[in-house]
Structure formats: C-alpha cells, structure tokens
Amino acid sequence: MTSMSLNVIALGGNAILDKVPSDEGQKEVVRKVASDIVSFIQLGEKVVICHGNGPQVGNLMIQQKAGDSEQTPMMHLDTNVAMTEGSIGYWIQQAIQNELAKKKMNKSVISVITQVEVAEDDPSFKKPTKPIGPFYNQEEAESKMKNGGGIYQEDSGRGYRKVIASPKPVSIVEKEALLSLIKAEVITICVGGGGVPVIKNKQGNYEGVEAVIDKDLSAKNLAKEIEADRLIILTGVDNVYINYNQPNQKKLEHLTVQEAKQYIKENQFPPGSMLPKVESAIEFVESGGGEAVITSIENLKNVTTGFGTRISY
C-alpha cells in the first residue's frame, strides 16, 4: 500500500467506553485515539473517521427512562442515535483539533450528523441482533425481559446485553456533502453510530426508525462510495480470533476472502460483534477495495507495517 492512501477508520463504541463510562473517562480514551490518528496522518495517510455508539446510546436510553415524565419524555431511538453521533463526534473532532495544533499541522476537522437510509422491510426489524448499553449477568437479563424491558442476549462471553434491530445500510443520505469535504482534504468524522437510520415514506420524505445500524457496515458502504484504498476497523483486540475465549483460540493474521467466508459458515464470529466486522471487510475487498484491516486502537500506527488481521484476495 503506497503513501497518501485514503483510509476509512471505523472506531468501535465499546473501544471508547472501555472501562470508565463517565464523560471525562470516554474523552480520555478519545484523546489517546486522536493522538494515534494524527500520527497515522503524519505518515502521509488520508483519513475519514466513523465511530460506533452501542454502549453510549444504550446508556442514554437508560438515563432517559429514569427521568421519563410528561414534561421530559424519552426520545425515540433515532433521535438518541443522532444525539450520541453528535456527542462522540464532538469529542473526536475537538481531540483531533487539539492534537493537530500541538503538532503544528494546518488541517481542518469536522463532524457531520449523517443519515443512512435502510429498507423498511429489512428482516432485522423482526429479529434484533445489535447489542446496546451495558452488560448484565443472566439473572439480571432474565428479570428485565420478564418485566418487558426488551430482548437480551449473551454477547461474546462477556455477559448479556439488550439487542435491537440492526438493518443493513442502503445509502448514505449526505454522501455528496461528504465527498466534497473529502475532496477538500477536510478530516471528516461521519456516519457515527452507523448513521441515523431513516426510511423514505410514501410521500418520499425521510423519517427515522427504531434501530441502530452497525457502524462497520456503514463504514464499508462509505469506503466503497468514496473509493477508499483501505478500510480499518478498530476494536478492543489486536487481531481476530477463531474459537475465541476457548482453550484452543487462534489468532488470525491474514485471511483471504474465501477463508473468512469459511469461518463465517463455521459460526466463528458472534453476530453482534465480530461478524459484521468480518462481513464488512469481505464486502469492501470484493467491491474492489485494496485491503481491510481489523485491529486495536493502540496498533493503528502499525497498520502500514502489516499489523492486525488483514483481509484481502
């Protein structure tokens, strides 16, 4: 991969809300990420940044439910997605601006509230799989389900989380505006939380729906649309594993598209976490993209030297 490559970087919401769920705790993680991103840019790389919001949007809904009243009613899920897209985008934008100033780099940064169209008849509306919010033990999850708190499923051996609809992204509504920003070499933060999920109604107008789009799938769509050279999916682990959290777990360093598809057939990747990352990587490569990389935030600076799980032909 040559220098001056165009990279779409997808940053996981779980990676931001790592241990400390407070405002300052998450900002501190984002500041470290911003330093890594700017160091990556210094290598001659161009970046467009997407981020997740699963834990954050779930927590926001819990907060809203606790204060729900006639005077302060809960917002719909699409509005909560927009709120967390704005707050996390603000954190990233400010942190990158500060890091650029520290390194005396004259570049502009902007975060864009982005809508992503989905299909009204997407099957995920009947079979939710996207985890949001905090982890619970089995007893807590069963209690919440009995009391009408939604559907909870086990998530990658880490506990139980609420799951909601996660429809596939169809198109990015603000694509032309994003392309203009990228052409002007503005560091752009967009499709946060997968973008605000919208459908077109019978009148041809957009309206929000109760869902959270997987940010990796939206990042893949964006990478295809802007003809990026590389899709980088940052998560909480250095590499993808098979037999994860089992005695015979194995780290994967390079996968062909065919090998990745075979592991999917073997159900090696959990639907709400690693599966959409691997699927996004496959689809990006098959669409003509150079390569996809899945790795941790800390190893972003090592991507150009071959670190992480790389998926290509």
Q: Is 102 a catalytic residue?
A: no
* Set 14, 53, 59, 221: catalytic member: 14
104 is catalytic: no
Specify if 192 maps to a domain.
Answer: yes
Query: Do 94 and 180 share a structural domain?
Result: yes
The answer to whether residues 256 and 204 belong to one domain is no
Q: Are residues 15 and 86 in the same domain?
A: yes
CB distance 257 to 313 below 8 Å:
yes
Q: Is residue 86 part of a domain?
A: yes
Residue 160: inside a domain: no
Predicted local confidence at residue 37, as pLDDT: 96
Q: Which of 53, 277, 289, 308 is catalytic?
A: 277
Work out the number of other CB atoms within 10 angstroms of the CB of residue 151.
14
Both 260 and 300 in a single domain?
Answer: yes
Q: Is 14 a known active-site residue?
A: yes
Same-domain status, 242 and 304:
yes
| 46 and 21 within one domain | yes
**Nearest CA-CA partner of 179 in 3, 2, 8, 34:** 8
User: What pLDDT does 3 receive?
Assistant: 52
Q: What is the pTM of this model?
A: 0.88
> Residue 75 is part of a domain; what is its CATH number?
3.40.1160.10
pLDDT of residue 121: 96
Selected catalytic residue, list 7, 59, 194, 215: 215
194 is catalytic: no
Considering 209, 228, 247, which residue would you say is the last residue of a domain? 228
Per-residue pLDDT at 272: 64
Of residues 54, 130, 192, 289, which has the active-site annotation? 130
pLDDT averaged per 10 residues in sequence order, the chain, 313 residues = 79 86 94 94 95 91 90 93 98 98 97 97 91 86 86 85 92 96 96 97 95 93 94 92 93 96 94 86 92 92 92 93
The answer to whether residue 136 sits within a structural domain is no
d(CA 138, CA 231): 35
- Sequence-distant (≥ 6) Cβ neighbours of residue 217 within 8 angstroms: 168, 169, 194, 276, 279, 280
Residues 103 and 11 reside in one and the same domain: yes
Burial status of residue 27 (CB atoms within 10 A of its CB: 0-12, 13-18, 19 or more): middle
202, 258: one domain? no
Same domain, 193 and 288: no
Quote the CA–CA distance of 204 and 151 in Å, as a whole number.
32
Q: Is 244 found in the same domain as 211?
A: no
What range does the domain containing 293 cover?
237-312
Tracing tokens 């160091």 back to the chain, one arrives at 39
Residue 245 appears among annotated catalytic residues: no
Determine, yes or no, domain membership for 85.
Answer: yes
Say whether both 291 and 195 belong to one domain: no
- Same domain for 307 and 187: no
* Number of domains the chain is built from: 2
